[in-house]
Amino acid sequence: MWSTLRERGVSYLIVGPFAIVLAFPFYWMLVTAFKTNGDLYNLNNVPFTYHPSQAAVGEKLSFQHDHWLPFGFENATTSHISFIFSDTNYLRWVENTAVVGGLVVVITLLLAVPAGYSLARLSGRWGQSVGVGIFLTYLVPPTLLFLPLSRVISKLGLQDRLWSLVLVYPSFTIPFATWLLMGFFRTIPAELEDAALIDGCSRLKALARVILPISIPGILTVVIFSFSLSVNEFVYAITFISGTKQHTISAGVPTDLIRGDVYFWQSLMAATLIPSILLALLYNSFLNRFIAGFTGGAFR
Amino acid sequence: MAENDDELEELGISTSLTRRQLVRRGLGGFLIAYAGALPKVAAAGVPKYVHKHYKNTLKIIQWSHFVPAYDVWFDKTYTKNWGAKHDTDVQVDHIALAQLPARAQAEVAAQSGHDIFGHLSPQAGLEDQVINHKEIIQEVTRKVGKVSQVGFKSCYNPKTRKWHGFPENYVPDPIHFRKDLWNQVGIKPSTWDDVRRAAPKLKALGHPVGLGMSNELDSNMLLIALMQCYGAFIQNAQARPTINSKNTIEALKVMRDIYKRGMTNEVFAWTAASNNQGYLSGRLALAVNAISIIRSAEDANPALAKNTSVAPIPRGAVQRLGLEHVMGVYTIWKFSKQKALATRFIADLEIHYQGAFKNSKFYNFPAFRGAVHNYATQLAADPHKGKYKVLDLIARKYTANLGYPGFSNAAIDEIFNTWLVPQMFAQVAQGKMTPAEGAKAAENEFKPIFAKWRARGKI
């Protein structure tokens, strides 16, 4: 028992500080989202708790009579959080982001799975080189490509449409996904497919019935990774779409919540924390398979 | 032996709902419930037929104004009323200030985009992509009088005789200073020498002055204005670079001195919002910025706003002369299919500028002075005890165009957008160059830029 406790203690001692450092920004965002302007801008106040201050224009102190709340929360306000729902198109941005992300994931899987499989199984010695070459295209930054792609989007009549992002985002999700899946498929013993082929399956059926079911961790990794990349992308989102109702979160939040040299800090923190929590829950649901997907791809 | 939920789940022998199952089911349920929106949203784009009873469509893009109420007025009142009168659906899109140049370049590359593009600085570099805005200038001049010198020199190219933009508004650039702190040190920031004397005393009180030397808009404007106060200019009236002068060296010495004795090195890494935030937090004793600082303080920190005064830029050895903080310039692309309508819109907006002036909380001053009446009365009527009356004086007497005494040409545009002036000041302030070396190095950088644009026939 003591050795178990000691092992656990050592584990927590090592992991604990990392967890605190990584979680701290989210704690900061959460605390800041509820702060009044007077509290936030007062350098004499401890930033991790709430302090009395004069409510600014538009701020309501809804908890001011609840003195039992911890951390001085009776001095907090929800006005800046409700601002993003009432005075911006925030929910629409979340919807747009979910739609674009979902479609990009589907397109990425449709193209990256067969590509990764082909490079892993059918391309011989040059498959590895081609895989690396495909991956290298992922490294070309959007800041180099957004100008020529603007012309392409305009010619296709997709300006100010979400389809412009659905078309362009796979250009960076597919290379990485192909490279990742290529490595993952290599870890699956070829004998499994050979057995299926001997039993009369076609190559496609062997892929669908034998390989894909055991590739779920890799595929989930691609899903989560592609979705995250789509959510975080900014340059194309701000360039191809100018209408506020058509924005994704990455474009809408800085456009509406940073006005000139005025930052609406509390609303900014809330607007970015909400999707972060959703993404964190998504990651957490499939954590084991996600880890298996990444580490499986390492042995290739 | 399996000891945790994950292993039990993998072995398929977990009998209770694990944490991970709960999260998965919850997320799955949320996604299913929300999925009804997917087809509708996926098919969405710009709704083409929202106002199908209007014959025309006019698309405008401009920055998200720091006064949210201005955008509400512009988008929901002014453009809607104008559109109803002109059988036009006016669509207004907004973008963050920092993204304006990239967006403009993207529209040029695509040869497609908005009919009217609202920039926040003169765009001499885009001259070949836009129409000659002379017609709008003439129309507005007929109705309200001549354009101000600031507007004229910002948007007219005397070499090509082309108006490469329409100067809609400019923003005076006062200093904000803490009356209480400056009273404590017994000095008023009337001259740059006063600032130089007060800076170390204020720093000792824990409230340094905030003068940026970073690659951002506020630093650019402040430092060029400081140079002007000492008779130093990037170019002369004939568009020849004149940066390497004893006046520039003097300005560099002043700033180096202020920095060494009265500031901290954070100023080399500032963004456009840093002086706002430093002042609003109560730390800075002085900042040079448009009235976004004090207007934010009125909402966020009324006690600070009460202790803040607004004044013209301090006088240098030669003169007191600042720059516009930003200049609102509308351009109509050559590829626009609504040039006549766009021309009409801009002309009407400028001729009836009272609404914009008022709804911007006096941030936007019209480039055509006659477009608004009774400046003094209106500014004095502001509820904050006449604090903003001085803006009229600053706008009339102490605001020059970027590139003064010359025009805002493509070379000035490039020097401004590549932050060469803040870099010159930063190098000298940090001791990496002497003032003379700094001025000489800047001249070596400016000369090829001017030569390039001269060769292209733009200056």
pLDDT by residue (tens digit) across B166-198? Answer: 999 999 999 999 999 999 999 999 999 999 999
Quick one: three-class SS letters along chain B? Answer: CCCCHHHHHHHCCCCCCCHHHHHHHHHHHHHHHHCCHHHHHHCCCCCCCCCCCCCEEEEEEEECCCCHHHHHHHHHHHHHHHHHHCCEEEEEEEECHHHHHHHHHHHHHHCCCCCEEEECCCCHHHHHHECCCHHHHHHHHHHHCCCCHHHHHHHEECCCCEECCEEEEECCCCEEEEHHHHHHHCCCCCEHHHHHHHHHHHHHCCCCEECCCCCCHHHHHHHHHHHHHCCCCCECCCCCECCCCHHHHHHHHHHHHHHHHHCCHHHHHCCCCHHHHHHHCCCCCEEECCCHHHHHHHHHCHHHHHCEEEECCCECCCCCCEECCCEEEEEEECCCCCHHHHHHHHHHHHHCCHHHHHHCCCCCEECCHHHCCCHHHHHHCCCCCCHHHHHHHHHHHCEECCCCCCCCCHHHHHHHHCCHHHHHHHHHHCCCCCHHHHHHHHHHHHHHHHHHHHHCCCC
From A246's Cα to the closest Cα of chain B, the distance in A is 7
Query: What value does the mean pLDDT take over residues B225-252?
Result: 98
Whether B368 is in a domain gets the answer yes
Q: How many CB atoms lie within 10 A of CB A127?
A: 16
Q: Do B147 and B294 have their domain in common?
A: no
A59 contacts chain B (CB < 8 A): no
Q: Identify from A147, A152, A214, A242 which residue to disrupt to test chain B contact, counting B C-beta atoms within 10 A and taking the largest count.
A: A242
Q: Do B195 and B339 have their domain in common?
A: no
Among A187-196, A287-296, B328-337, the minimum mean pLDDT is found in A287-296
On the question of pLDDT at B401 being above 60, the answer is yes
A96 contacts chain B (CB < 8 A): yes
Whether B25 is in a domain gets the answer no
Quick one: three-class SS letters along A3-25? Answer: HHHHHHHHHHHHHHHHHHHHHHH
Whether B272 is in a domain gets the answer yes
> What percent of chain B is predicted at pLDDT more than 70?
89
Looking at mean pLDDT, say which of B16-20, B25-29, B387-391 comes out highest: B387-391
> What percent of chain A is predicted at pLDDT more than 90?
45
For the stretch B355-391, pLDDT in tens is 999 999 999 999 999 999 999 999 999 888 789 999 9
Whether B5 is in a domain gets the answer no
For the stretch A98-107, pLDDT in tens is 999 999 999 9
Q: What is the pLDDT of residue A130?
A: 81
Query: What value does the mean pLDDT take over residues B318-340?
Result: 97
Q: Do B304 and B429 have their domain in common?
A: yes
Whether B388 is in a domain gets the answer yes
Q: Do B360 and B429 have their domain in common?
A: no
CA–CA dist B356, B20 (Å, integer): 55
Give the nearest partner residue to B106 out of A41, A57, A147, using CB atoms: A147
Mean pLDDT across chain B, nearest whole number?
91
Q: Do B66 and B163 have their domain in common?
A: yes
Query: What value does the mean pLDDT take over residues B152-167?
Result: 97
Name the closest residue on chain B to residue A43, using Cα atoms: B281
For the stretch A9-21, pLDDT in tens is 888 888 999 999 9
Q: Do B66 and B146 have their domain in common?
A: yes
CB contact under 8 A, B102 and A239: yes
Domain housing B111 = 56-171+325-397
Give the nearest partner residue to B24 out of A161, A261, A285, using CB atoms: A285
CB contact under 8 A, B41 and A95: yes
From B415's Cα to the closest Cα of chain A, the distance in A is 21
CA–CA dist A198, A188 (Å, integer): 17
Give the nearest partner residue to B111 out of A42, A154, A239, using CB atoms: A154
CB contact under 8 A, A244 and B272: no
CA–CA dist B308, B330 (Å, integer): 33
A163 contacts chain B (CB < 8 A): yes
Task: Give the count of domains, chain B.
Answer: 2
For the stretch A216-246, pLDDT in tens is 888 988 998 899 999 999 999 999 999 888 9
Q: What is the pLDDT of residue B300?
A: 83
Query: What value does the mean pLDDT take over residues B423-446?
Result: 98
Query: What value does the mean pLDDT take over residues B317-340?
Result: 97
For the stretch A24-67, pLDDT in tens is 999 999 999 999 988 998 888 888 999 988 777 778 888 877 88
Q: Which residue has the higher pLDDT, A232 or A204?
A: A232
Single-letter amino acid, residue B450: F
Q: Do B332 and B317 have their domain in common?
A: no
Which residue reads 């508004």 in tokens? B169
Whether B108 is in a domain gets the answer yes
Q: What is the pLDDT of residue B206?
A: 95
Q: Do B416 and B358 have their domain in common?
A: no
Whether B32 is in a domain gets the answer no
Q: What is the pLDDT of residue B37?
A: 53
Q: Which CATH number belongs to the domain containing residue B242 in this structure?
A: 3.40.190.10
A-B contacts at Cβ under 8 angstroms: 150
Query: What value does the mean pLDDT take over residues A196-220?
Result: 85
pTM: 0.86
Q: Of 3.50.50.60, 1.10.3720.10, 3.40.50.970, 1.20.1740.10, which CATH number belongs to A85-298?
A: 1.10.3720.10
Query: What value does the mean pLDDT take over residues B334-340?
Result: 97
Confidence band of A257 (pLDDT split at 50, 70, 90):
very high
On the question of pLDDT at A279 being above 90, the answer is no
Q: What is the pLDDT of residue A5?
A: 83
Q: What is the pLDDT of residue B207?
A: 96
CA–CA dist A144, A172 (Å, integer): 13
* Window A:11-50, CB contacts with B under 8 Å: 37-38, 41-43
From A158's Cα to the closest Cα of chain B, the distance in A is 9
For the stretch B52-78, pLDDT in tens is 578 999 999 999 998 888 999 999 999
CB contact under 8 A, A243 and B91: yes
On the question of pLDDT at A143 being above 90, the answer is no
On the question of pLDDT at B320 being above 90, the answer is yes
The beta-strand segments (E) located in A178-267 are 258-259, 262-263
Give the nearest partner residue to B300 out of A37, A243, A288, using CB atoms: A37
Q: What is the pLDDT of residue B9?
A: 55
Do B126 and B427 form a contact (C-beta atoms < 8 A)? no
Give ranges for CATH 1.10.3720.10 in chain A.
Answer: 85-298
Confidence band of B49 (pLDDT split at 50, 70, 90):
very low
Q: Do B314 and B225 have their domain in common?
A: yes
Q: Which residue has the higher pLDDT, A201 or B133?
A: B133
Q: What is the pLDDT of residue B395?
A: 96
Q: What is the pLDDT of residue A294?
A: 58
The packing angle between helices A216-232 and A249-257, to 10°, is 30
On the question of pLDDT at B3 being above 50, the answer is no
Q: Do B311 and B447 have their domain in common?
A: yes
Q: Which residues of B touch A150 (CB under 8 A)?
A: 106-107, 109-110
Q: What is the pLDDT of residue B348?
A: 98
- Global ipTM: 0.80
Q: Which residues of A touch B109 (CB under 8 A)?
A: 147-148, 150-151
